[in-house]
Amino acid sequence: MESRSVFGYARPEHDVYIGYRVDGEGPIDIAFQLDWPGNIDMDWLDPAFEPWLRSLSSFARLIVHDHRGVGVSSRNVELPNLETRVADLLVVLNATAASKPVLVGMFSSGAVNVLLAALRPSLPRALVWLEPMAAFGQAGGYAWGRSKEELELERGFLRLWGTQDYAKVMFEQEAAAGNVLPPEMFDSLPMSTRNACTPDVAAKLAEMWYETDVSGVLEAVNVPTLLLVHEDREGSVKEAEYIASRMPAAEVRRMPGSAWTVEEAAVWADEIRAFVGVAPKSLQTDTVLSTVLFTDIVGSTERQAALGDRGWKDLVERHHATIRTSLEHWPRVRERHGGRRLLRDVRRPGTSHPVRARDRRACPRSRHRGPRRRPHR
């Protein structure tokens, strides 16, 4: 049975509500934030995001929230800076009774986790940063930051926010930058953006992201950190390696390809699962291990001649009864007769059993053959 979602509001201040959602019942807690002004309920309905969320919640207790100003959180409030987002995340973790959570973020949301880990090093179990960016503008000489011209370009097409035209322009812009978005996202993007915030809020958020910079605190983060990056994005790989060189406990994993796809969600989630030390779930297969017991009466021709028809019939029936008695406690036994021979196919899902020893004690001159794989029908 799948676990039910738990929804609630955390209250960092008396007039602010931070909507959160918890899914999954794994052995660890994961607090995940998208690099996107979203809506945590709509994200689970989005064909591009749902596989990712489902993959994470398959092995962990997944905690997500909308930061103030967007989604299911308070909208009529001042938008949060980086420090406020850290404070709000702490309130959500407290409200959900999170224990040593793994903090997972992508792009700018990873910056929130970095600052929290620098301020509260004993709180997180680990950090995971997808396509990491330590700074989003070029102030301070950060080589991979966006230029002011790129920010102005983004401001222009944010006027289309919530429309199909916005989805078209965004797909084109991201593809030109080497970030090809999943095609499943195209149809759902207009509705998801409308349910996140209004165009003016989206423009303000773009300006805030441009000012985000945690490059100065990277050395202060000493918790185990995994940086995941597409290996075909040369610039992103160099940036991830630079960030890892500044973080004492960070490592870079290069993932196949250059574009985000629905199919890779499970692969990336599995990297995270292995990194944080959660064992994979045992597979439920549709095969069983069968043991075939074939018995025969040794010297049957001579004994039949010596016993006569009635005596021989009695011996065969005693032989069959002995085998049946030995195997009565094994479920799913199929039986075939062949004169003096008895063929028993004993099936137990996923395991064998000690049928050989029991039957040889009961019928010491029987012959046993097995095991073999059979499809479970």
pLDDT in tens, 146-159: 888 888 888 888 99
**pLDDT value at position 330?**
55
pLDDT of 322 higher than 60 = yes
pTM for the structure as a whole: 0.74
Domain 6-276 has CATH 3.40.50.1820: yes
Kindly indicate the confidence band of residue 93, based on its pLDDT and cuts at 50, 70 and 90.
very high
Which amino acid does the sequence have at 163?
A: T
**pLDDT value at position 14?**
85
Distance CA 313, CA 316 (A): 5
How many residues are recorded in the chain? 377
**pLDDT value at position 345?**
56
Structure tokens at 274: 């292995």
* Better-scored residue on pLDDT, 287 or 167: 167
* Better-scored residue on pLDDT, 25 or 322: 25
- Outline where the chain has alpha helix (H): 40-43, 50-57, 82-95, 108-119, 148-157, 164-176, 184-194, 199-211, 234-246, 265-276, 300-327, 355-362
Contacts with 283 (C-beta within 8 Å, 6 or more apart), sequence order: none
pLDDT of 320 higher than 80 = no
Kindly indicate the confidence band of residue 294, based on its pLDDT and cuts at 50, 70 and 90.
low
**Distance set, CA 13 to CA 17, 53, 88, 91, 119 (Å):** 8, 28, 9, 10, 21
pLDDT of 70 higher than 60 = yes
User: In the predicted model, what is the mean pLDDT of residues 253-260?
Assistant: 89
Distance CA 93, CA 29 (A): 10
| 50-59, 316-325, 345-354 — most confident range | 50-59
**pLDDT value at position 344?**
56
Distance CA 377, CA 373 (A): 12
Residue % of the chain over a pLDDT of 90: 55
* Better-scored residue on pLDDT, 325 or 274: 274
pLDDT of 326 higher than 50 = yes
Q: Name which of 67-71, 92-96, 216-220, 335-339 the model is least confident about.
A: 335-339
**pLDDT value at position 368?**
38
